[in-house]
Amino acid sequence: MNMTDTIKHHLTPEILMAYSAGTLPEAFGLIVATHVSMCDTCRSDLDSYDAVGGVVMEDAKSANVSDDAFAATMKLISAGDSTPLTPRRSSGTLPSPLQDYVGGDLDQIKWKPLGMGVKQAILPTSKAATARLLYIPAGAAVPDHGHNGTEMTLVLQGAFVDEDDRFARGDVEVANEDLEHTPIADIGEDCICLAVTDAPLKFNAFLPRLAQRFLRI
């Protein structure tokens, strides 16, 4: 079975269209590119949005955009080429866009401990959002927290469960102010994720809140 067939949690059309339009902050662009490299479904959708964007830009040079432009755009998408695209794969744990970004695979990551075996590595991106790699030992939990903004989490190895669902390799969870959760890594394998946030998390326990300013979470 192709790995992309096991992915159950995908990027939303709004996120893919924003990526296609180039309006996402660098950190969110990185997580989208990484997921798309793992997921044939989202890569095919993105290719459709890219193609439609090109048509719209050409039309905009000679005509004003009408009120029903969005409906026309979605019609073009549905009529587009549905031929599956072949994602750019990598031989390591980290997908190619992420390997290109960090300069290698997991052996190049400089982890910093967060406590209880959980580790992180913050990636250099623009200040508009923060990207980090998270290492969660099998059976361990990230402290209970809510969100002041948007958090996107892409599983690169293993799996985790929270109050929302189970997320395995290739799955992406999009959390906002409405979700409070405690991600717990599956017992069978250490979990490694790429997590992106545009605002600090809201931890409920005192110690995580105390350490938050020093750990940039």
CATH number, domain at 68?
1.10.10.1320
pLDDT of residue 3: 55
Q: Is 95 a domain residue?
A: no
Q: Is 98 a domain residue?
A: no
Average pLDDT for residues 92-118, to the nearest whole number? 89
Same domain, 117 and 64: no
pLDDT of residue 82: 37
Q: How far is CA 133 from the centre of its chain?
A: 11
88 has a pLDDT exceeding 70: no
pLDDT of residue 182: 82
Average pLDDT for residues 63-71, to the nearest whole number? 55
- Residues 107 and 197: their CA atoms lie apart, in Å, by 24
Same domain, 141 and 197: yes
The residue that leads in pLDDT, 78 or 46, is 46
Confidence of residue 210 (pLDDT cuts 50, 70, 90): very low
Number of structural domains in the chain: 2
Same domain, 70 and 110: no
Same domain, 119 and 57: no
121 has a pLDDT exceeding 90: yes
Same domain, 72 and 115: no
Helices (H), the chain: 13-21, 26-38, 40-60, 69-78, 96-102, 206-215
Side-chain-side CA neighbours of 6 within 13 Å: the count stands at: 12
pLDDT-above-70 percentage for the chain: 69
Same domain, 134 and 203: yes
Same domain, 113 and 66: no
9, 42 Cβ separation under 8 angstroms: no
Confidence of residue 78 (pLDDT cuts 50, 70, 90): very low
Read off the pTM: 0.76
Average pLDDT for residues 37-63, to the nearest whole number? 75
Q: Is 160 a domain residue?
A: yes
Q: What is the CATH number of the domain that holds 171?
A: 2.60.120.10
Dihedral pair phi/psi, residue 45, rounded to 5°: -60, -45
Same domain, 140 and 60: no
Angle between helices 40-60 and 69-78 (to 10 degrees): 130
Residue pLDDT, tens place only, 155-185: 999 999 988 889 999 999 988 767 777 889 9
193 has a pLDDT exceeding 60: yes
Q: Domain range spanning residue 15?
A: 9-78
Q: Is 84 a domain residue?
A: no
